[in-house]
Structure formats: C-alpha cells, structure tokens
Chains A and B, each alone.
Chain A
Amino acid sequence: MSGEEEENAAELKIGDEFLKAKCLMNCEVALILDRRYEQLQQMSDDPTNQISQVFEKSMQYVKRFSRYKNPDAVRQVREILSRNRLAEFELCVLGNLCPETVEEAIAMVPSIKSKGRALEEDAIEKMLHDLSLIKKFE
C-alpha cells in the first residue's frame, strides 16, 4: 500500500488496494442491494429488522442517484465506459455523474487528462454522446 502518499482521488491516488478493486456505479449498487433486499423479504416478514442503517441509507442513496435504472442500460453504460481504458474508479465516477461536456468530464475526473494518458477529447466526446443515448432510450 502507498500509505505514505497523500490520498487524492483527482490524481487516482486512492491506494493500491482500491485502485485494483472493482468499483461499482450507484446504479449497479442499486441492483445488488435490491436483489439482496428481495432475498431478505422472501425469508422474513419484516426485512427492515434484518438490515443495518448503513444498508438502508446506502440503498436510499443509490436509488436517488442512479442515472440508469434498468439492468440492460446499466450493463451498456459499463460497456461503453469500458471501451475507453479507464481505471475502475474513473469509470464509475463518470457513470455516476454523467457529465454532459468534455470539459465537465475532465473536471469530474481530472486524472483522465493527466500525463501519459492518451485519451483524446474526441474519444471522451463520443463516450459522453453514447451514454446520453442510453439515457434517452432507457
């Protein structure tokens, strides 16, 4: 772990462990938690007894801030983002925040324009456009 270096998500300094870990977009977490909640419902009359406050707050949060609701759209979003050789973290920030312009995308995830990264503005533009289409047809 690179614990010595100061954490800064804008430069992708989130520690090796998290950099390599799988990130989840809010819409993906919503699917997971929904599924989990359904399972609890099947097994218990009152699932609210079984879930922690953290679970409940997280579920409310991801539902409120999911830009895409249906599982097909969620899968497509990840696919489109994945074409662009983004880090998991970058991919999920973009998927969560759905920036509308290249400038906004770079402001949200400054690391995509950092040194040594060859992500062209055209490619970002295309990606944002594709994402907006999913939203439109969802």
Chain B
Amino acid sequence: MSLAAESPLQSSSSSDDFAAFLDAELDADSSNSSPNGESNDDEEIDLKEERIKRRKVEMSETIEVIESSKTADVNKEKSVLSSESTKPNLCPHPGFIKGLCLMCGQIEEDDGSGVALSYIHKDLKLGSHEMNRLRGADLRNLLREKKLILVLDLDHTLLNSTRLADVTADEDHLLKQADLLQDDPNRSLFKLGSMHMLTKLRPFVRTFLKEASPMFEMYVYTMAERCYALEMARLLDPSNIYFNSKVISQSDCTQRHQKGLDVVLGAESVVVILDDTELVWQKHKDNLIVMERYHYFASSCHQFGFNMKSLSQCKKDESDTEGALANVLNDLKHVHHIFFDPALDTDLSSRDVREMLKKVRQDVLHGCKIAFSRVFPSTVRAADQHIWRIAEQLGALCTTDVDSSVTHVVSTDTGTAKARWAVQNEKFLVNPRWVEAANYFWCRQKEDDYVV
C-alpha cells in the first residue's frame, strides 16, 4: 500500500497522453473492420458509430463482470460440462493435466483412478493404460538407442549429507573448506545454507554419471523430500542433462516406505536399480544392485550404529578409481554389453535385464566349488543358509563334503577336518567374508586377503 503510494509511477497526464497515443496508433485504420463482415459501404459508417455505443454498453457490463467473475466462471464451467455429458464423448481420456484431458482438452471430474506423476508435472495423472502405452513406446525408443534405464538412490549411494547442526568438532575444517571451494566447479563438498545441510558427493560420481549416461536413461529415486531431492540433483547434474524431470521423491511413492517402479515410465525389464537399501525394493529385488553404503560424515556412521571414526574425521575418502561407484560402473557396462550382445539370437524386446543381472552375478564365482565347514550348524538344512544361497547366486557350486573337485573350503576355524584337508590338498581355505565381499563387489576377491 505505502509502496504503491510512494512509487513514482505515471502521473495522470502522462497516462492520458498514452491513451491518446494508443488511439492514434491503433484505432486510426481499423475502425472499418466489422465482426460480421457485411459488405455494404453505407453500413460501415453506421457500424463505426455503433461501435462506440457498444463500448459504452460493454463498460457497464464489465463492472458487473468484475464483481461476479468468480462465480460466473464456475457456472460457465459447469454448464460446459453438463452440455458435454449429453454428447457422446469418444475420447478415452488417457490422462489429465490440471484436470484437462491430455487428448481432447475437456475438463473432467477426477474419478480418483490413475497414478499421479507429480515429479513430471505437479498436476499430472495418468491412467494405467496410458502408462503401459508410454512404457511400450519408451522401450522401443530405448532399445533403438541401445539404452537401458538406471534408477539411482541418492543418500549413501551417490552422496552423503549431514545436518549442519550434526557436524562434529573434528569436522569443522569441512565447513571452511566448503566456503573456500565455493567457486570451484569440480568441488564435491557443498554447504547448503538454506537447507542447513552439508553434502559430500561420493568420489567418482561425476565420471560415473558421465559414463553411464550414454548407456542408461537415468532417474533419481529417493525417499527424501522433493526440495532436497531437487537440490541434490542440481549438485550432481548442474546443467540438467541427466535427470531432466526424472527426480522421484517421497511424495511420489504410491506405497508407504516402499519404492516402486510403478511411477517410472519405463519397462521393468530394462531397469537397473542402484540403492544401498534392499528393504525398500521389495517388489523389484531382481532389478537391484545393492550398493556398499557411503558414510562420509560422522553423523551418518553414528546413525547406522557404527562407532568407528568416519571418513571425514580421518580426513580420508573412498578411492576415486577403485571405490564402489567405479566398481559398479564396470558391472553396469558389462550388463549393458551382454543385453545388447548382437550374438544373442533373441529379439531385443524380449530380453530382460533381470536375467542379465543374474547371469553376471553367476559369473563371479563361476568354476568355484565351495565346501562349508562349521560356518553354520550341521543340524540345519545347508541349502537354506544365507551364505550358501549367496554363493550359489554368484555361480559357485556348494557342498558340505570334500572331494577332489572342491576348490575352496570356507571356514572360520583352521582346526576342522575339512580345513586341514584343504591345506593338505593345496585348496583355498578362506573366511566366509570372502563370499560376502564377492557379493558386494560382484568380483571374486583375492583369497590371500581372506585367510582364516
């Protein structure tokens, strides 16, 4: 109010001048145009006068209109709707944006069906038929471009964040460092004042995204809130070339505490997921590569119950070239390669990346025959044991008895009969962590590093 009064806007005379300018500028040549296009020359003069009269009438109408415009609009919309409903409408209404049908432009009442895809547009809803159609079209497109879909978790997978309030005394140097690096385009540490956050990108993440992007269409999928997710996406992808309207966050999930591919406009058969939390992907375990958690900050370690010093406290970080992201990038390249292997005689569209993932995992311990010794009680069914199943998924043959074909004995104790047999027969004797590590890294580990 006071602003308006003090602002040095036009004086009354200048606005009058301006109106005059407009009339001169615009009215001069157009007054003989008539809306009805009558052709009589004599009539044109009449029309010109009528036009002026009409304006006056119009004005008194306008007052009324302004005051009641809101209710008038509602009524108008209603009347349009009711007149529409009497006509047969053949549009299948595949989806709606702001309540308007995508296909015919009609305003329709929301019948509650359809999936909201607010990460694409805040008022977008698609029916299941349309979702499937788009997935089909997307699949043809992707396969033509030799691409798969990669769904990426944020926290602990691509980065680690801590609240500023949780930064410990021995991490204080990071705050200064973040301030100093502010203008460095390659920095990986960000102080986000407005969010009260300190964020560290995982080593190798930029190279990872750059190299994955020609092979995969990438989504961010996080349980965090939308504003945080968008901010993180911006840090990872400042020019918005990887995640263009593909940042899915908490409010997009259709099921509480679960992530689902139901809101992803891509076929499940081409989706690979990277996430540190297996639990949230109950329905899509076969698409998932579980990532080793990236705990950079002390608060993150603490939150997960680790009492050791964090990477930040030790002033260390994950290896750039041999860290988790570098490792998984190799796996992804491999999966991509075998999916599009021209030597395969199956049709591209019938291929399933989940099968490929299974296959790649089975190559990890291919050729190994593992005998377990005192890793689990002899009274339980061996084939039900977690480590047994993992070893099998990694392609190893498992057994409880030793014979000459056995390559590895897994035990926690050098004194067991089987352990001694292994030493005598120059077989590998390894700790169970050898199997677990192979499972994490999708790579057979050096046996020497896992001696019993």
> Contacts of A36 on B, CB cut-off 8 Å?
18
Q: Does A54 contact B (CB under 8 A)?
A: no
Inside 8 A of A3's CB, which chain B residues have their CB?
72, 75-76, 79
User: Given contacts A43-B10, A50-B7, A50-B9, are A85 and B18 in contact (CB under 8 A)?
Assistant: no
Residue from B26, B28, B83 having most chain A Cβ neighbours under 10 A? B26
Residue B39 at the chain A interface, CB threshold 8 Å: yes
**B contact residues around A86 at 8 Å (CB):** 33, 37
**Are B54 and A43 in contact, CB atoms less than 8 angstroms apart?**
no
How would residues 5 to 17 of chain B score, 1 for a CB under 8 Å from any chain A CB and 0 otherwise? 0011110001000
Residue of A nearest to B26 (CB): A28
Interface 1/0 per residue, A110-122 and B, CB below 8 Å: 0000000111000
Q: Looking at the assembled complex, report how far the CB atom of B264 sits from the nearest CB atom of chain A, in whole angstroms.
A: 33
Asked if A82 and B39 sit within 8 Å, CB to CB, the answer is no
Contact with B along A42-56 (1 / 0, CB 8 A): 011000001000000
Judge whether B29 is part of the interface by a CB distance below 8 angstroms: yes
With contacts A20-B58, A44-B8, A87-B35 taken as known, whether A39 is within 8 angstroms of B18 at the C-beta atoms is: yes
Cβ of A129 under 8 Å from chain B: no
Q: Of the 9-residue stretches A57-65, A71-79, A98-106, which lies at the interface with chain B?
A: A71-79
Contact A79 B33 (CB under 8 A): no
Nearest CB to that of A28 among chain B residues?
Answer: B26
> How far is the CB of B53 from the nearest CB of chain A, in Å?
11
Does B30 touch A at the CB level, under 8 Å?
A: yes
Task: Tell me whether B35 and A4 are in contact (CB under 8 A).
Answer: no
Interchain CB contact under 8 A, B35 and A88? yes
Taking CB atoms, residues of chain B closer than 8 Å to A24 are: 26
Identify B9's interface contact among A4, A35, A43, A78, CB under 8 A: A43
Q: CB within 8 A of B33: which of A31, A40, A75, A85?
A: A85
Cβ-based interface call for A131 (8 A): no
Tell whether A4 pairs with B79 under 8 Å between CB atoms, given A36-B18, A43-B9, A118-B39: yes
Contacting pair B21 A35 (CB below 8 A): yes
Report whether B61 and A17 are in contact in the complex, using a CB–CB cutoff of 8 Å: yes
Interface of chain A residues 2 through 21 with chain B (CB within 8 A): 3-4, 6, 12, 17, 19-21
Across chains A and B, the number of contacting residue pairs, with CB separation under 8 Å, is: 76
Chain B residue at minimal CB-CB distance from A24: B26
**Does residue B414 face the partner (Cβ distance < 8 Å to A)?**
no
Whether A22 sits at the interface, judged by CB under 8 Å, is: yes
A82 to B26, CA, bound (A): 12
Complex alpha-carbon distance, A40 and B36, angstroms: 39
Interface size class of B (residues with CB under 8 A): 20 to 34
- Tell me, yes or no, whether A91 is within 8 Å of chain B by CB: yes
- Give the distance in Å from the alpha carbon of A32 to the alpha carbon of B22 in the complex: 7
- Residues on A with C-beta less than 8 A from B448 are none
CB within 8 Å of A: which B60-92 residues: 61, 65, 72, 75-76, 79-80, 83
A118 cross-chain contacts in B, Cβ below 8 A: 37, 39
User: How far is A78 from B36 in the complex, measured between Cα atoms in Å?
Assistant: 17
Q: Which residue of A lies closest to B27 (CB)?
A: A22
User: Which residues of the partner chain B approach A21 to less than 8 Å between Cβ atoms?
Assistant: 58
A88-B54 contact in complex given A35-B21, A36-B18, A43-B8, C-beta closer than 8 Å = no
Is the CB–CB distance between A88 and B33 below 8 Å? yes
Alpha-carbon distance A44/B30, docked complex (angstroms): 34
Q: Are the C-beta atoms of B33 and A39 separated by less than 8 Å?
A: no
Cβ of B83: which chain A residues have Cβ within 8 Å of it?
4, 6
B32 in the interface, Cβ–Cβ < 8 Å? Answer: yes
Closest to A25 in B: B26
Given contacts A20-B54, A78-B30, A79-B29, contact A39 B10 (CB under 8 A): yes
Separation in Å of the B336 CB from the closest CB of chain A? 42
Interface residues of A (CB under 8 A from B): 3-4, 6, 12, 17, 19-22, 24, 28, 31-32, 35-36, 39-40, 43-44, 50, 71, 75, 78-79, 81-82, 85-89, 91, 117-119
Pull 30 A–B residue pairs with CB atoms less than 8 Å apart, ordered by A.
A3-B76, A3-B79, A4-B83, A6-B80, A12-B35, A17-B58, A21-B58, A28-B26, A31-B25, A32-B22, A39-B18, A40-B9, A43-B8, A43-B9, A43-B10, A50-B7, A50-B9, A71-B25, A75-B29, A78-B26, A85-B33, A85-B39, A87-B34, A87-B35, A87-B36, A88-B30, A91-B30, A91-B33, A118-B37, A119-B37
In the complex, given contacts A3-B79, A24-B26, A88-B30, what are 15 additional A-B residue pairs having Cβ atoms less than 8 angstroms apart? A3-B76, A6-B80, A20-B51, A22-B30, A28-B26, A31-B25, A32-B22, A35-B18, A39-B14, A39-B18, A50-B9, A71-B25, A85-B38, A87-B34, A91-B30
List B residues at the A interface (Cβ < 8 Å). 7-10, 14, 18, 21-22, 25-30, 32-39, 51, 54, 58, 61, 65, 72, 75-76, 79-80, 83
Complex A-B, nearest 6 residue pairs according to Cβ-Cβ distance, in ascending order? A87-B35, A85-B37, A79-B29, A82-B33, A43-B8, A3-B76
